[in-house]
């Protein structure tokens, strides 16, 4: 993947901001419109397919709710953060959203820069400035789940569940 | 309920669709939250994967001062040390024995708010008694203890005597809690006692200790939500519920209550002080409301005063809020 537009966020961005409690009661297809309504109202209308979130420390702190699925439904292509809450990270793997922990990433990007990343190597490149960083790569088992589209499609492929 | 019955047992591994599953760490159970899709995987396969992070040990010493609760210990920890992303947290040391299982559950549950992976308390006689009393026999034998040469990222001393009542300001508790005195006088319109972290019988007793013979300020609505029906029944039998109601508290059916936005939602401009787990913007309703976090005793005292107040600052009856 190359040349994805960056949206920049701060530290400690929690899952309630991504998927507010009231949105949980609505159909999945309607949930994306409420992403970040509390901290960045109107943002969802500007997001385009494949855009990337660059964030600070502790992105995704909070609930077990599948906030990663809502970001994916919204069209977000990846989350690149200084650090990720690991429950949120699990949900990224399991719902097929790319996410990398990459120290230095928050300062390496300005809003609107173009980002390129590779989960297998953990490499993150700012195509606008030329800066290249090394994040924590995904192990092959997790890459496989991601490439299958998440954990539910994988279980379907294996014939273990039927939708 | 998993930690209360308990279904969680020492030395076992447990997953559940709830970020506060780590509550069961108080029982020496390696418990963590997972997402809904992953639970389907676990049910289908009987296994899952974990990332193994570094461990940070908190060595507890001393004894909590009168009127200081485990929530204050946690808020102190969060204000000083910040997030613990990907780290495991271990609580041990001589002062662990002075903390009840309820008190330990406050600590381990709240570790979710640090983004910790697993949070465990060392096993001891207090845990053994707890298990035996609940018909779990010799399950303490399965408990895990740190190796004598265990490698830690950090070992940090927590001197309980030095901790004072703390309050976290709104929207995050990472590096955001202060001694109650520094926020004293902040007006509140709402107050909430409850949640998996602080809806325990110990919390309800703490609150009743503060509220006995007092009245909730007319400008404040205080909701109290026992964490389980068992807690509710026991509090009822002890007269705790009556004390709370006499003071003007609204006691609801057991649930996550306001902490999950299930009831009593905050409106625009509301300022709430809560003993629950999260102060995220919009967590309890309006995004234009503010949520402060504190111990159940501090919440009760603030509900009486109509402003953020330490229980020791209230005039009148003495306060016995230690758990």
* pLDDT tens digit sequence for B2-38: 888 899 999 999 999 999 999 999 999 999 999 999 9
Q: Which of A9, A16, A143 to mutate to test the interface with B (most CBs of B within 10 A)?
A: A16
Rounded to the nearest 10°, the torsion over CA A103, B172, A69, A56 is -20
* pLDDT tens digit sequence for B119-128: 999 999 999 9
Whether pLDDT at B317 is above 60 = no
Instruction: Give the one of A39, A66, A161 whose C-beta lies nearest to B36's C-beta.
Output: A66
| Phi and psi, residue A39, nearest 5° | -105, -15
Identify whether the C-beta of residue A131 lies closer than 8 Å to the C-beta of residue A83: no
C-alpha B59, offset from chain centre = 19
pLDDT reported for residue B3 = 82
Residue B38 Cα, gap to closest chain A Cα (Å)? 7
Residue A13 Cα, gap to closest chain B Cα (Å)? 9
Q: Directed axis angle between helix B125-133 and helix B101-110, to 10°?
A: 110
B113 touches chain A (CB under 8 A): yes
- Cβ contact A16–B283 (<8 Å): yes
Residue B31 Cα, gap to closest chain A Cα (Å)? 12
Q: Which of B280, B286, B289 to mutate to test the interface with A (most CBs of A within 10 A)?
A: B280
Q: What is the 3-state secondary structure (H, E, C) of chain B?
A: CCCCCCCCCCCCEEEECCHHHHHHHHHCCEEEECCHHHHHHHHHHCCCCCCCCCEEEEEEECCCCCCCCHHHHHHHHHHHHCCCCCCEEEEECHHHHHCCHHHHHHHHHHHHHHCCCCEEECCCHHHHHHHHHCCCCCHHHHCCCCCCCCCCCEEEEEEHHHCCCEEECCCCCCCCEEEHHHHCCCECCEEEEEHHHHCCHHHHHHHHHHHCCCCCCCCCEEEEECCCHHHHHHHHHHCHHHHHHHCCCEECCCCCHHHHCCCCCECCCCEEEECCCCCCCCCCECCCCEEEECCHHHHHHHHHHCECCCHHHCCCCCCCCCC
pLDDT reported for residue B318 = 46
Instruction: Give the one of B21, B51, B85 whose C-beta lies nearest to A83's C-beta.
Output: B85
- Cβ contact A151–B41 (<8 Å): yes
Q: Which residues of A touch B18 (CB under 8 A)?
A: 64
Distance CA B113, CA B173 (A): 8
The phi-psi region of residue B104 (left if phi > 0; otherwise alpha if psi is between -120 and 50; otherwise beta) is alpha
Q: Which residues of B touch A62 (CB under 8 A)?
A: 19, 278, 280
Confidence of residue B322 (pLDDT cuts 50, 70, 90): very low
* pLDDT tens digit sequence for B168-198: 999 999 999 999 999 999 999 999 999 999 9
User: Across the strands, what pairs with B90?
Assistant: B57, B120
**Tally of CB atoms within 10 A around B185:** 10
**Contact partners, residue B147, CB within 8 Å, separation at least 6:** none
**Contact partners, residue B46, CB within 8 Å, separation at least 6:** none
The mean pLDDT value for A142-160 works out to 93
Residue B298 Cα, gap to closest chain A Cα (Å)? 24
- Cβ contact B41–A155 (<8 Å): yes
A127 touches chain B (CB under 8 A): no
* pLDDT tens digit sequence for B66-80: 999 999 999 999 999
pLDDT reported for residue A1 = 53
Distance CA B161, CA B100 (A): 17
A157 touches chain B (CB under 8 A): no
Q: Which residues of B touch A159 (CB under 8 A)?
A: none
Distance CA A78, CA A101 (A): 11
User: Across the strands, what pairs with A4?
Assistant: A115
- Cβ contact B37–A91 (<8 Å): yes
> Between A and B, how many residue pairs show a Cβ–Cβ distance under 8 A?
104
Residue B188 Cα, gap to closest chain A Cα (Å)? 21
B44 touches chain A (CB under 8 A): yes
**A60: helix, strand or coil:** coil
Confidence of residue B263 (pLDDT cuts 50, 70, 90): confident
**Tally of CB atoms within 10 A around A56:** 17
Q: What is the ipTM of this complex?
A: 0.92
- Cβ contact A155–B40 (<8 Å): yes
Distance CA B281, CA A10 (A): 15
Residue A155 Cα, gap to closest chain B Cα (Å)? 7
* pLDDT tens digit sequence for A48-98: 999 999 999 999 999 999 999 999 999 999 999 999 999 999 999 999 999
Distance CA B259, CA B28 (A): 25
Whether pLDDT at B315 is above 90 = no
Identify whether the C-beta of residue B183 lies closer than 8 Å to the C-beta of residue B308: yes
Q: Which residues of B touch A55 (CB under 8 A)?
A: none
The mean pLDDT value for B80-103 works out to 97
**Tally of CB atoms within 10 A around B114:** 25
Distance CA A24, CA B110 (A): 23
**Tally of CB atoms within 10 A around B235:** 24
Q: Which residues of B touch A63 (CB under 8 A)?
A: 19
B268 touches chain A (CB under 8 A): no
How many residues appear in chain B?
A: 323
**A16: helix, strand or coil:** helix
């Amino acid at each position: 993947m190359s040349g994805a537009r960056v949206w920049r966020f701060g530290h400690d961005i929690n899952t309630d901001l991504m998927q507010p409690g009231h949105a949980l009661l609505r159909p999945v297809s309607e949930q994306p419109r409420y992403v970040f309504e509390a901290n960045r109202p109107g943002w969802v209308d500007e997001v385009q397919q494949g855009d990337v979130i660059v964030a600070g420390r502790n992105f995704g702190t909070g609930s077990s709710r599948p906030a990663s699925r809502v970001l994916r439904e919204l069209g977000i292509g990846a989350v690149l953060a200084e650090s990720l809450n690991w429950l949120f990270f699990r949900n990224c793997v399991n719902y097929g959203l790319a996410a990398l922990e990459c120290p230095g990433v928050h300062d390496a990007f300005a809003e609107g820069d173009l980002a390129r990343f590779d989960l297998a190597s953990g490499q993150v490149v700012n195509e606008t400035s030329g800066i290249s960083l090394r994040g924590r790569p995904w192990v092959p088992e997790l890459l496989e789940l991601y490439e299958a589209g998440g954990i539910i499609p994988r279980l379907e492929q294996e014939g273990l569940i039927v939708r | 309920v998993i930690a209360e019955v308990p279904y969680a047992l020492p030395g076992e591994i447990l997953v559940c669709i709830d970020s506060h599953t780590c509550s069961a760490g108080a029982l020496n159970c390696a418990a963590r939250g997972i997402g809904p899709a992953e639970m389907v995987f676990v049910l289908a396969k009987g296994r899952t994967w974990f990332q193994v992070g570094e461990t940070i040990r908190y060595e507890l010493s001393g004894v909590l001062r009168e009127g200081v609760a485990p929530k204050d210990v946690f808020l102190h920890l969060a204000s000083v040390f910040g997030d613990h992303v990907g780290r495991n947290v271990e609580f041990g040391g001589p002062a662990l024995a002075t903390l009840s299982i309820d008190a330990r559950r406050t600590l381990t549950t709240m570790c979710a708010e640090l983004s910790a992976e697993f949070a465990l308390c060392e096993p001891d006689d207090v845990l053994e008694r707890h298990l035996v009393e609940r018909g779990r026999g010799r399950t303490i034998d399965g408990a895990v203890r740190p190796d004598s040469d265990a490698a830690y990222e950090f070992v940090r001393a927590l001197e309980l005597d030095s901790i004072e009542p703390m309050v976290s300001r709104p929207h995050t508790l990472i590096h955001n809690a202060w001694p109650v005195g520094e926020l004293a006088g902040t007006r509140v319109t709402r107050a909430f006692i409850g949640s998996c972290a602080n809806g325990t019988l110990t919390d309800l007793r703490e609150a009743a200790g503060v509220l006995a013979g007092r009245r909730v300020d007319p400008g404040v609505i205080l909701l109290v939500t026992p964490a389980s029906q068992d807690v509710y029944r026991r509090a009822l039998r002890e007269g705790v519920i009556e004390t709370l109601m006499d003071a003007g508290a609204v006691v609801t059916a057991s649930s996550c209550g306001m902490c999950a936005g299930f009831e009593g939602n905050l409106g625009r401009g509301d300022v709430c002080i809560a003993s629950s787990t999260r102060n995220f913007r919009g967590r309890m309703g309006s995004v234009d409301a503010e949520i402060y976090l504190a111990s159940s005793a501090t919440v009760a005292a603030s509900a009486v005063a109509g402003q953020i107040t330490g229980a020791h600052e209230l005039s009148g009856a003495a306060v016995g809020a230690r758990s």
